[in-house]
Amino acid sequence: MSISMGAEFAPQTTYLNTAAHGVFPVRTAAALRSAVEDMAAARLDHYALIERIEEARASFAAVVGLPVERVATGSAVSVHVGMIAQSLPEGTEVLVAEGDFSSLVNPFHVRPDLTLRQAPLDGLAEAVRPGTGLVAVSAVQSADGRVADLVGISAAARAAGARVLVDTTQSTGWLPMDPALADYTVCGAYKWLLCPRGTSFLTVPEDGGGLRPTHAGWFAGENRWETCYGPIDELAGSARRFDECPPYLPFVGAAASLGLIEEVGPAAIGEHNRELAARFRAGAVEAGHRPVPGDSAIVAVPGLGDAAPELAKAGVDVSARAGNLRASFHLFNTAADVDRLLAALAGLR
């Protein structure tokens, strides 16, 4: 499937690094410039800026297929996960995948009264046991693009009476997920959702999933402008009670970027991304490399991580992660980008 995005993006390099940070759409850059100019000119409309936050929340809810009342906003995945970690009873066993992203794992690790257990990703479902209280896993692994078996993991967790937390930072925007597979999801929106860094989202069950709003400020109040001072007696009845007070500028950009993702649709984006990834995977195999197998928008080639700086000099932007060369493909990329990467790799020999 080919998606034409010429009018929406203007990259100046062959950018194959969305797994590290997304490229702003033209509309997002324009919205941010306008907001900065307004702030510099003292044209600061707080109500309008909060409307952008709510637009971003609504678009994210539409993208992931959940009611907007179940979506909280924040600035970083680790903050969301930290709240979940602080809400767990003492002694809870948390099961994670070996080598998963630290922002998902470490908030549990720094609570010494929790039991953190690790298991291989492909054996995570089998590692769930009756004493497990929470399974936390990334839908797609940052280091190598492997896709978790969320159906199997969720079924095993449910059978054991455990809750499930899924980090969708490397998947939301191109890999649709059944919301019923997780109790909580966390998502850093600055990658595949093309938002500014400083935007993230948390989804929770209708009843809040037992979370404590440990960082609730004025923004978490049911009537924000009426409860700016002193203790807040009435927190929001929705997931807004778990909101951080969000930064204005990043969410101005988020509203624009999420609008584009919603318009194109994650399913169509995912088909496009995976086609490009498969093209690179096949070309890498033909060149004698052994990329991590799978059907992911992220392709990791073990042992080639040292090539990333030389590829950057050739105008091809990829990442080095855990010794792998990591290339990631998104809706602004084309087959020509894949071919430039393959040619650049061949030129390093």
What pLDDT is stored for residue 2 in this prediction? Answer: 56
What band does 255 get if pLDDT is binned at 50, 70 and 90?
very high
Strands (E), 87-131: 93-97, 115-119
For the entire predicted model, the pTM comes to 0.96
What pLDDT is stored for residue 348 in this prediction? Answer: 83
Per-residue DSSP letters for 193-208?
A: T-PPTT-EEEE--TTG
What pLDDT is stored for residue 231 in this prediction? Answer: 94
Q: Over 80: is that where the pLDDT of 1 sits?
A: no
* Averaged pLDDT for residues 155-183: 98
Residue 147 DSSP code: B
Q: What is the rounded distance in angstroms from the CA atom of residue 108 to the CA atom of residue 131?
A: 16
Contact yes or no for 302/292 (Cβ under 8 A): yes
Contact yes or no for 94/129 (Cβ under 8 A): no
Greater pLDDT, 112 or 347: 112
Short-list 337, 347, 288, 338, CA closest to 313: 347
Q: What is the pLDDT of residues 176-230, one digit of tens each?
A: 999 999 999 999 999 999 999 999 999 999 999 999 999 999 999 999 889 899 9
Strand-by-strand arrangement of the 298-302 sheet: 298-302, 324-328, 319-321
Calculate the CA dihedral of residues 4, 10, 13, 16 and round it to 10 degrees: -50
Q: What is the rounded distance in angstroms from the CA atom of residue 46 to the CA atom of residue 53?
A: 11
Q: Over 60: is that where the pLDDT of 284 sits?
A: yes
Class of domain 14-25+265-347: alpha beta
Contact yes or no for 252/55 (Cβ under 8 A): no
* Averaged pLDDT for residues 85-101: 98
CATH hierarchy code of domain 33-263 = 3.40.640.10
What value does the mean pLDDT of the chain take? 96
Provide the residue type at 176 as one letter: P
For 237, counting Cβ atoms within 10 Å of its Cβ (0-12 exposed, 13-18 middle, 19+ buried), the class is exposed
What pLDDT is stored for residue 3 in this prediction? Answer: 63
| Strand 184-188 with 319-321, pairing | unpaired
Tell me the percentage of the chain whose pLDDT exceeds 70.
98
Tell me the percentage of the chain whose pLDDT exceeds 90.
95
Q: What is the pLDDT of residues 19-38, one digit of tens each?
A: 999 999 999 999 999 999 99
Give the start-to-end residue ranges of the domains of the chain: 14-25+265-347, 33-263
333 half-sphere exposure, CB direction, 13 A CA radius:
34
| Strand 200-203 with 184-188, pairing | antiparallel
Same CATH fold assignment for domains 14-25+265-347 and 33-263: no
* Averaged pLDDT for residues 142-154: 98
Q: What is the rounded distance in angstroms from the CA atom of residue 166 to the CA atom of residue 232?
A: 30
Which residues lie across from 166 on neighbouring strands? 137, 185
Tell whether the torsion through CA atoms of 332, 334, 336 and 339 is positive or negative. positive
Q: What is the rounded distance in angstroms from the CA atom of residue 14 to the CA atom of residue 276?
A: 13
What band does 246 get if pLDDT is binned at 50, 70 and 90?
confident
Q: What is the pLDDT of residues 53-86, one digit of tens each?
A: 999 999 999 999 999 999 999 999 999 999 999 9
* Averaged pLDDT for residues 145-172: 98
